[in-house]
């Protein structure tokens, strides 16, 4: 279950328990990043909204105060008729999807009576015209809008399609790749008082084993880790990559030198917290960070 769907189900549960008809003020909205939003949307289209109307639509878990008909120009994910009904203006104090007229890339979820936004106010990426070019403001991280990019419309659509391909690859990934993708920390070969091996390090060893076979699938999974994994996942991936492609590994480490993303490293009973950039610099300068050697098994 996605974060947004979990949040919605939690809100419904609160309403059922309390017997209330309005959404609780204490409930909080989960806002997904772009990759999550792409994965959890039932429908992604480039559409044209001509007119937004006031309405009083009863639904679950929300009631809606806005509706609009959207003409579908291009379908990116899912299937739908040439025109669809979109609902917005949810009766939720923390977040809502405010529908605006114009052309936009729409991320939608199927609901009773039509479609609702898949990610609150980020459910639509409006298309704006700059001189003779159609542009889109794309949000990558819902909580850090400084990373937003203004892209050409066709570039934005290519990125969304790539997100869908990554999601499909993740779904097909073996368990060890899924373990690495979400690694909360980077672990040495032995951690804790017992000196046991973490599941993340076991997954890293499996990655090296599979990479040594030089299979096409492993290369795709490595690229997935580097593109979508946590900072520890990226470090495990570049360490595995350095065994067969040291130049490519060094180039990646150079790209990360200015990264402030925090990485927790655990070895034995000790732990440190350092930036991804600092660890990348250590790997470049010494080939190791503390007792973790780049490319170690």
pLDDT of the residue at 228: 85
pLDDT of the residue at 282: 96
pTM for the model: 0.67
Question: Which of the two residues, 295 and 89, has the higher pLDDT score?
Answer: 89
Q: For residues 210 and 287, what is the distance between their CA atoms, to the nearest angstrom?
A: 22
| 3-46 per-position pLDDT tens digit | 545 444 444 444 443 344 444 444 567 888 888 899 999 999 99
pLDDT of the residue at 144: 64
Domain spans in the chain, listed from the N-terminal domain onward:
3-160, 173-293
Q: For residues 120 and 89, what is the distance between their CA atoms, to the nearest angstrom?
A: 9
Cis ω before 30 (30° cut-off from 0): no
Q: For residues 201 and 227, what is the distance between their CA atoms, to the nearest angstrom?
A: 20
Buried b (16+ CB within 10 A) or exposed e, 41-55: bbbbbbbbbeebeeb
134: left (phi over 0), alpha (psi -120 to 50) or beta: beta
| 175-221 per-position pLDDT tens digit | 999 999 989 999 998 887 778 899 999 999 999 998 888 666 788 88
| 215-245 per-position pLDDT tens digit | 667 888 898 899 888 999 999 999 999 998 9
| 158-172 per-position pLDDT tens digit | 999 988 988 888 888
Q: Does the structure show a pLDDT above 80 at 66?
A: yes
| 87-138 per-position pLDDT tens digit | 999 998 888 999 999 999 999 999 988 999 999 999 999 999 999 999 999 8
Task: For residue 52, list its beta bridge partners.
Answer: 68
pLDDT of the residue at 216: 66
């Amino acid at each position: 279950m996605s974060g947004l769907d979990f949040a919605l189900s939690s809100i419904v549960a609160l309403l059922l328990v309390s017997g209330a008809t309005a959404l609780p003020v204490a409930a909080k909205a989960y806002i997904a990043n772009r990759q999550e939003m792409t994965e959890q949307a039932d429908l992604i289209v480039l559409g044209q909204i001509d007119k937004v109307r006031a309405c009083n639509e009863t639904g679950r878990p929300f009631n809606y105060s806005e509706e609009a008909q959207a003409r579908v120009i291009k379908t990116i994910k899912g299937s739908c008729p040439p025109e669809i009904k979109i609902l917005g203006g949810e009766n939720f104090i923390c977040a809502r999807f405010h529908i605006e007229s114009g052309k936009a890339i729409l991320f939608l979820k199927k609901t009773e009576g039509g479609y609702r936004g898949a990610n609150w106010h980020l459910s639509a990426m409006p298309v704006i015209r700059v001189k003779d070019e159609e542009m889109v403001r794309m949000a990558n991280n819902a909580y850090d809008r400084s990373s937003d990019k203004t892209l050409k419309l066709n570039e934005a659509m290519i990125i969304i399609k790539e997100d869908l391909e990554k999601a499909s690859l993740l779904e097909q990934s073996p368990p060890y790749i899924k373990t690495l993708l979400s690694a909360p920390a980077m672990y040495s070969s032995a951690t804790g008082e017992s000196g046991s091996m973490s599941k993340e390090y076991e997954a890293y060893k499996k990655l090296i084993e599979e990479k040594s076979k030089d299979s096409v699938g492993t290369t795709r999974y490595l690229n997935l880790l580097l593109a979508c994994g946590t900072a520890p996942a990226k470090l495990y991936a570049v360490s595995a990559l350095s065994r067969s492609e040291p130049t490519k590994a060094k180039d990646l480490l150079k790209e990360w030198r200015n990264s402030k993303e925090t990485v927790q490293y655990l070895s034995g009973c000790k732990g440190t917290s350092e930036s991804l950039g600092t660890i990348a610099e250590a790997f470049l300068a010494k080939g190791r960070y503390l007792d973790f050697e780049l490319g170690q098994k």
